[in-house]
Chains A and B, each alone.
Chain A
Amino acid sequence: MGLLYGLIAVGLALIFGLMDVTNFAHGEFLMIAMYVSFFLFTFFAIDPLLSAPLVAAAMFVFGAVVYLLVVRFAMRAKANAGMVQIFTTFGLAILMRGLAQFFFTPDYRSIPQSWLGGKTISFAGIFLPEPQLIGALVSILAFAGLYFFIHRTDFGRALEATREDPGAVALVGIDKNRVFAFGWGLGAALVGLAGAIMAVFFYIYPDVGASFALIAYVTVALGGFGSVFGAFAGGIIVGLVEATTALVLPPSLKSVGIYAVYLLVVFIRPRGLFGSM
Chain B
Amino acid sequence: MDKHFAARRRRDLVIAAVLAALAALAPLFIKDVYVQNILILTLMYAALSQSWNILSGYCGQISLGHALYFGIGAYTTELLFTKFGVLPWFGMLAGGVIAAVIAMGLGYPFFRLRGHYFVIATIVIAEIGLLLFQNWEWAGAAMGITIPVRGDSWLKFQFMRSKLPYFYFALVLCSVAWFVTWWLEDSKWGFWWRAVKDNPEAAESLGVVVFNSKMGAAAVSAFLVAIGGAFYAQFLAYIDPESVMGFQFSLLMALPAVLGGIGTLWGPVLGAAILIPMTELTRSYIGGSGRGVDLIVYGALIVAISLALPRGLVSLFSRSKAKGATR
- Which residues of A line the B interface, CB within 8 A? 16, 22, 70, 73-74, 77-84, 86-88, 90-102, 105-106, 206, 214, 217-218, 221, 225, 250, 252-253, 255-256, 259-260, 262-263, 266-267, 270-272, 277
Contacts and interface: CB of A to CB of B under 8 A. Distances in A.
Interface in B221-268: 247, 251, 254-255, 258-259, 262
Interface in B103-162: 109, 112-117, 119-121, 123-125, 127-128, 131-132, 134-135
Provide the main secondary structure of the chain B interface.
Answer: helix
Nearest to A277: B115
Given A84-B307, A259-B124, A16 B116 contact: yes
Given A70-B307, A84-B307, A252-B134, A91 B116 contact: no
Nearest to A17: B116
A106 B291 CA distance: 7
Q: Which size class do B's interface residues fall under?
A: 35 or more
B288 interface: no
Given A97-B295, A259-B127, A267-B112, A250 B135 contact: yes
Nearest to B311: A79
Contacts of A253: 131-132, 135
A96 to B, nearest CB: 7
B301 interface: yes
B86 to A, nearest CB: 29
A91 B302 contact: yes
16 contacts: A77-B307, A84-B307, A86-B62, A87-B254, A90-B251, A95-B295, A95-B296, A98-B293, A98-B295, A101-B290, A225-B116, A252-B135, A259-B127, A266-B117, A270-B112, A272-B117
A98 B62 contact: no
A98 B287 CA distance: 10
Nearest to B312: A80
A221 B109 CA distance: 16
A113 to B, nearest CB: 29
B123 A214 contact: yes
A106 B123 CA distance: 26
A204 B307 CA distance: 31
A16 B298 CA distance: 24
Interface of B: 62, 64, 109, 112-117, 119-121, 123-125, 127-128, 131-132, 134-135, 247, 251, 254-255, 258-259, 262, 290-304, 306-307, 310-311
Nearest to A98: B295
Given A214-B123, A267-B109, A83 B262 contact: yes
A22 B113 contact: no
B307 A88 contact: yes
B194 to A, nearest CB: 14
A98 B112 contact: no
A263 B109 contact: yes
Q: What 10 pairs across the A-B complex have the smallest Cβ distances?
A: A101-B292, A98-B295, A95-B299, A91-B302, A94-B299, A98-B296, A91-B303, A77-B310, A98-B292, A259-B124
A94 B297 CA distance: 9
Contacts of B262: 80, 83
Contacts of B307: 70, 73-74, 77, 84, 88
Nearest to A272: B117
B226 to A, nearest CB: 22
